[in-house]
A = this chain, B = another copy of it.
Amino acid sequence: MNATAPVVLAIDAMGGDHGLKTTVDAALLALAEFSTLQLILVGDERQILAALKKRKAAADALARIAVQHASEVVAMDEAPSKALRNKKDSSMRVAINLVRDGRAQAIVSAGNTGALMATAKFVLKTMPGIDRPAMISPIPSMNGHVHMLDLGANAECNADQLFQFAVMGSALLTATQGIAEPRVALLNIGEEEIKGNEVIKQCAQLLQTSKLNYVGFIEGDGVFLRDVDVVVCDGFTGNIALKTGEGVAKLIYHFIKQEFTRSPLTKLAALAAMPALKALGKRMDPRNYNGASFVGVNGIVIKSHGSADAPAFVAAIRAALREVENDVPTRIAHLLVDALPQSAAA
């Protein structure tokens, strides 16, 4: 990445399963990696300063850190509506405010997904023609990567909303990867037209008559094996698919370890196989894919996995930098005007 112009990111320092333990370490790692990066750590000022002091951060890094006090924290299991109503001084809310006010170009949070979504939508507002923002992330596939949305922000969706996800996903790929006509597929339980529930069937009709490069239904295995650019689904299905994939990867990793430690002979073989196994482990490591983007709001909001460790959280910071560099929300907003004529006009 060539980040020469200074970039300011807001970090929800209290969010996630591990809070400051992860975010402060990640902040220092990211500042070391990107020399023009500036971070605003949002949360309990006293705790943040203590955490920074304890880590004996370099003067150069400290000079690029600002602390913004916020007196509250959104709990990981808090109802989004309650967080939105009652916690106006939460680290999450204050960090998103910084984006709204132009003081930060993006916000990264490992906090409560539903609350992040509700707050981002409330503070930053959705783009014209979009009912609900969606969570999108690249996931590894046979031919590189596929982008999937929604990954868990919207548990229930109607056909119009799924269609909007398709438009946003397509626009994101055009904006960030220069793909003129991204191939869009709809996740379903079969590739035949008669399969699926009513919402899926209605959305398929909308896609077929749209300007998008719609390639039809895709099944769960196809997400990883077929060559498409965007896979569309509701947040319930997307979250289940994503986490199922993570679970299977961990299970296979466990099997590999078992098979290679079964006997002295296989242990010897493991030594010989170590470089290949290490390379494999790196490719399978979900931490490399951490950092989902909320598309559809007027601003860059990156959601880290709640259980992310510091290197994984840095991956989310990298994702934020990529979106800042590509000015993603502005470009998506432009593309939406063209792709969503009826809704945008409404």
Contacts and interface: CB of A to CB of B under 8 A. Distances in A.
Most chain B beta carbons < 10 A, residue from A142, A155, A268: A155
A67 interface: no
A262 interface: yes
Contacts of A34: none
Contacts of A276: 256, 259-260, 262, 266, 269-270, 273
B275 A273 contact: no
Given A197-B155, A224-B248, A275 B266 contact: yes
A239 B273 contact: no
A220 B194 contact: no
Interface in A244-292: 244-252, 254-256, 259-260, 262, 265-266, 268-270, 272-277, 279-280, 283-284
A156 B197 contact: yes
Nearest to A225: B247
Interface of A: 76-79, 114, 140-142, 152, 155-156, 187, 189-190, 192-198, 219-225, 233, 235-237, 239-252, 254-256, 259-260, 262, 265-266, 268-270, 272-277, 279-280, 283-284
Contacts of A233: 240
Contact of A245 (B142, B248, B260): B248
Contacts of A194: 77-79, 114
A273 B269 contact: yes
Main secondary structure of the interface of A (DSSP, over half): helix
Copies held by the complex: 2
Given A252-B284, A269-B269, A269-B274, 19 more contacts: A77-B192, A78-B194, A155-B196, A156-B198, A189-B235, A189-B239, A189-B240, A219-B240, A220-B242, A221-B246, A221-B247, A221-B250, A222-B247, A233-B240, A237-B237, A240-B241, A244-B244, A266-B276, A269-B276
Given A241-B241, A247-B222, A247-B224, A192 B273 contact: no
A237 B239 contact: no
A198 B236 CA distance: 12
Contacts of A269: 269, 272-276
A191 to B, nearest CB: 9
B196 A236 contact: yes
A128 to B, nearest CB: 28
Contacts of A251: 140-142, 224-225
Nearest to A243: B220
A243 B195 CA distance: 15
A155 B189 contact: yes
Nearest to A277: B259
A248 B182 CA distance: 23
Most chain B beta carbons < 10 A, residue from A156, A193, A225: A225
